[in-house]
Amino acid sequence: MQYCGDRVNDITIAYIGGGSRGWAWRLMSDLAVEECMSGTVKLYDIDFEAAQDNEILGNTLFDREDVKGKWQYKAVKTLEAALSGADFIVISILPGTFADMASDVHLPEQYGIYQSVGDSVGPGGLLRALRTIPMYVEIAKKIKKYSPKAWVINYTNPMALCTKTLYEVFPEIKAFGCCHEVFATQKLLASVLRELKGLDGIERSDIKINVLGINHFTWISEANYKNIDVFALYKEFVNAFYQEGYEDGTQKGHWINDSFSSANRVKFDLFKRFGIIAAAGDRHLAEFFPSNWYLKDLDTIKKWKFNLTPVKWRIQDLNNRCEKSKNLVNGRNKFELKESGEEGVKQIKALLGLADLVTNVNILNRGQVTGVPIGAVVETNAVFTRDSLKPVMAGRLPIAIESLVVRHVYNQDTILKASFNKDKELALSAFLNDPLVTIPVDDATQLFNKMIDNSREYLSEWKL
């Protein structure tokens, strides 16, 4: 990353989901510590009071001496108001409620289908997609009308289908999806260098990688640190830690009580099977394979040393963050500035021509991943320069992995068509074709119908 010698002072960012108590705060912090940019962030959320809280919080940063980037935050009541005049658009929304998510994640458990996340693939990913796609259709239409030249950064899952929907509705849109799962794998590769070479203090961005695949089912085929082939070292690392798993030295056994942690055993097993580095967290990776691999039952999940993420945990976490928000807005606590580790602000900076950046993003396949259908949303590295985003040619996955990736790509296409056409039978075919759905067809159909019934309010135009 080359740091800028100039400054841009009049940027307008539209934040859809601007009442967020997580992603929005990360953006605020990253904007505050970046000295090359300033401007206005318009916060739109269906929960207007939450957006107002973030307006108050964001504006408290303006006069702080430790804040380098000076931004004005403004809560707005309509999507049109947020989008009008926007240079950049950030989308980070929760499509539905936690009750909807509970149906996505926990109803399948009654049929023996376990999901560690339930937001990208599997029964939960499909129902979440059916709720989300219509929302993204409307967002895309309004971007086309009110801010057609803006760059659009998507953080919402299911990542591939959200991004694909934007392009289906508005083919000329300048949109890409961002996910931090690859970053964690780069940090793991830094641990490889520490464990096997005694090298400390290596930043994850110092490890140069070739990324290819689809979101949350992403792979690394090359990894280098200076003159060291980290990919070659990874085999030795996997062999050393395969049975026990590997966590950072200060976090031994942390996965047991943490819904988001793992011991990387799924990653290690996939490397032994396929000879390529899996580049997402174990919780996400496990969901892309037949359920009897890693998600057969609770004992199997425990064996592979990762965890399910129950919706009750998400509810408690939101309650905690809402309480934190009150304390921040009322001035009882001070907003802590620190870089989030996300790259949205760096991407904006590069698109403004203030820096060059190469990082992984989700965009349409124009040939950067061989063997995957053109037009599918794939995840590879891309080069960011002034008003330009160009994918890096990533090559081809091993055939055994490619066949699994392509299956999910075609299933995503089926889900998108089912949503656009409001076709329940087509949605059912995608449901039955998901690798996690290994139960008898009659049981799977019954489960599907129950899950659809629980999402009726989002499917009002469907013939159910």
Q: Are 125 and 119 in contact (CB under 8 A)?
A: yes
Q: In whole angstroms, give the CA distance from residue 12 to residue 460.
A: 35
Query: How many other CB atoms are there within 10 angstroms of residue 134's CB atom?
Result: 18
Helix (H, G, I), strand (E, B) or coil at 68: coil
The model's confidence at residue 464, banded by pLDDT at 50, 70 and 90, is confident
Rounded mean pLDDT, 405-423: 98
Dist. CA 242–CA 265, nearest whole Å: 6
Distance CA 71, CA 106 (A): 41
Instruction: Report how far residue 4's alpha carbon sits from residue 63's, in angstroms, rounded to the nearest whole number.
Output: 23
Q: How confident is the model at residue 255 (pLDDT cuts 50, 70, 90)?
A: confident
Lowest pLDDT segment from 32-41, 297-306, 330-339, 416-425: 330-339
Residue 253 is predicted with a pLDDT of 64
At 5 the pLDDT is: 57
Q: What is the CATH number of domain 96-118+178-309+342-464?
A: 3.90.1820.10
Rounded to a whole number of angstroms, the distance between the first and last alpha carbons of the chain is 52
Q: Where are the domains of the chain?
A: 96-118+178-309+342-464
CB-neighbour burial class of residue 53 (10 A; exposed 0-12, middle 13-18, buried 19+): buried
For residue 115, the surrounding DSSP H or E stretch is none
Residue with tokens 């809560």: 75
Q: How would residue 144 be classed by pLDDT, with cut points 50, 70 and 90?
A: very high
Cis peptide before 158 (omega within 30 of 0): yes
Query: How confident is the prediction for the chain on average, in pLDDT?
Result: 95
Say whether pLDDT at 159 is over 80.
Answer: yes
* Confidence tier at 2 by pLDDT (50, 70, 90): very low
The encoded tokens of residue 65 equal 């001496």
Burial class (CB within 10 angstroms; exposed 0-12, middle 13-18, buried 19+) of 456? exposed
Tokens 């099977």 belong to 273
Q: What single DSSP character describes residue 117? A: S
Which candidate in 106, 180, 216, 254 is catalytic? 180
CA distances from 52 to 55, 73, 322, 330, 343 (A): 5, 9, 13, 13, 25
Contact residues for 255 (Cβ-Cβ < 8 A; gap 6+): 245, 247, 261, 262, 263, 305, 306, 307
pTM value surpassing 0.85: yes
Between CA 192 and CA 211 the distance in angstroms is 18
In the predicted model, is pLDDT for residue 23 greater than 50?
yes
Residue 132 has pLDDT above 60, yes or no: yes
What confidence score (pLDDT) does residue 4 get? 53
**φ, ψ for residue 390 (rounded to 5)?**
-125, 125
pLDDT digits (tens, 9 = 90+) for 186-203: 999 999 999 999 999 999
Per-residue model confidence (pLDDT) at position 148: 98
* Run of H or E residues at 152: strand 151-154
Residue 107 is predicted with a pLDDT of 98
Q: Clarify whether 180 is annotated catalytic.
A: yes
SS3 annotation, 355-412:
CCEEEEEEEECCCCEECCCCCCEEEEEEEEECCEEEECCCEECCHHHHHHHHHHHHHH
Q: What pLDDT is attached to residue 251? A: 62
**pLDDT value at position 83?**
98
Where would I find the beta strands (DSSP E) of 196-299? 208-214, 217-225, 228-229, 277-278
Amino acid at site 21 = R
Residues of the chain above pLDDT 70, percent: 98
pLDDT digits (tens, 9 = 90+) for 379-390: 999 999 999 999
Residue 252 binned pLDDT confidence (cut-offs 50, 70, 90) = low
